[in-house]
């Protein structure tokens, strides 16, 4: 597609449930990022994939968070045993190999944990 | 990564030029200056980037000082739709050197009628 697609756009879940968020990057983009943005706060880096290199997971806040990406395609961010503090907008971005810092962002997935 | 410093907020009158400063005194030779903005309730949007020469595109101009220790993003004729948080980021774009892209607190620009 022409842009970065994220789904679902909105997710409401109960505390303790697992959620999976999906990101479809721009075709051919080797770089893929996940960020979290709590209400009224800045962007918090979570994880970075670059091609077939080992991902940089240094931003994942706990072992309840994990992300996968197969090659240069779709990525999924999984949050297990959700907590209320996980409520946020989760943003995905992708970038080309030659300009890995020029990112295109998706519209985000808004997660609300009750 | 080179640390950047931006004012937390700025106001600009509609139709006037908005000049957003960024200090990056520890920038290294391989690092570029990137600007993004985030309009309320939207994902961030790439604006422009540069190494040492001034750059211009349809959105903005980027002026980098000769010593590269600071830069200014210029929106030549600000509109109400330019109200957003503007992020200045300094990064090495080289594969295996670039690493993760981190956003700071940025400058909240309010364009007023």
What part of B 60-89 touches A (C-beta under 8 Å)? 89
pLDDT given for residue B31 in this prediction: 87
Q: With an 8 Å Cβ cutoff, are B101 and A107 in contact?
A: no
pLDDT given for residue A53 in this prediction: 83
What part of B 26-65 touches A (C-beta under 8 Å)? 32, 34, 36, 38, 42-46, 49
pLDDT in tens, B20-55: 999 999 998 888 999 999 999 899 999 999 999 899
pLDDT in tens, B54-110: 999 999 999 999 999 999 999 999 999 999 999 999 887 765 555 678 888 899 999
pLDDT given for residue B79 in this prediction: 97
Who's near B87: CB < 8 A, 6+ residues apart?
B6, B35, B36, B37, B38, B44, B103, B104, B106
Return mean pLDDT, chain A: 92
Query: pLDDT-based confidence at A98, cuts 50/70/90?
Result: low
CA distance from start to end of chain B: 38
pLDDT in tens, A59-94: 999 999 999 998 778 999 999 999 999 999 999 999
pLDDT given for residue A97 in this prediction: 75
Residue B53's nearest CA partner among B70, B66, B37 is B66
Query: pLDDT-based confidence at A1, cuts 50/70/90?
Result: low
Is the backbone peptide bond immediately before A8 cis, with ω within 30 degrees of 0?
A: yes
Q: With an 8 Å Cβ cutoff, are A107 and B43 in contact?
A: yes
Strand pairing of A10-13 and A109-113? parallel
Quick check: B99 contacting A, CB < 8 Å? yes
Q: With an 8 Å Cβ cutoff, are B103 and A42 in contact?
A: yes
pLDDT given for residue B101 in this prediction: 81
pLDDT in tens, A39-56: 988 899 999 998 888 888
pLDDT at B4 over 90: yes
CA B41 to chain centre: 19
Of B42, B46, B102, the CB nearest to A102: B46
A85: helix, strand or coil: helix
């Amino acid at each position: 597609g022409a842009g970065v697609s994220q789904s679902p756009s909105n997710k409401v879940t109960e505390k303790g449930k697992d959620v999976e968020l999906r990101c479809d990057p721009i075709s051919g983009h080797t770089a893929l990022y996940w960020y979290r943005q709590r209400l009224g706060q800045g962007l918090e880096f979570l994880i970075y994939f670059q091609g077939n290199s080992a991902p940089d997971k240094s931003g994942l806040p706990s072992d309840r968070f994990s992300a996968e990406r197969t090659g240069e395609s779709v990525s999924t961010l999984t949050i297990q045993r959700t907590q209320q503090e996980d409520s946020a907008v989760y943003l995905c971005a992708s970038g080309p190999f030659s300009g890995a810092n020029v990112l295109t962002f998706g519209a985000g997935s808004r997660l609300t944990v009750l | 990564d080179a640390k950047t410093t931006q004012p937390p907020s700025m106001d600009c009158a509609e139709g006037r030029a908005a000049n957003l400063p960024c200090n990056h005194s520890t920038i290294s030779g391989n690092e570029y200056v990137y600007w993004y903005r985030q309009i309320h309730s939207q994902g961030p949007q790439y604006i422009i980037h540069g190494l040492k020469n001034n750059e211009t595109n349809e959105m903005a101009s980027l002026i980098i000082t000769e010593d590269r220790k600071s830069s200014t993003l210029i929106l030549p004729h600000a509109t109400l739709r330019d109200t957003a948080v503007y992020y200045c980021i300094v990064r090495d774009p080289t594969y295996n050197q670039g690493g993760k892209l981190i956003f700071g607190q940025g400058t909240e620009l309010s364009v007023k009628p």
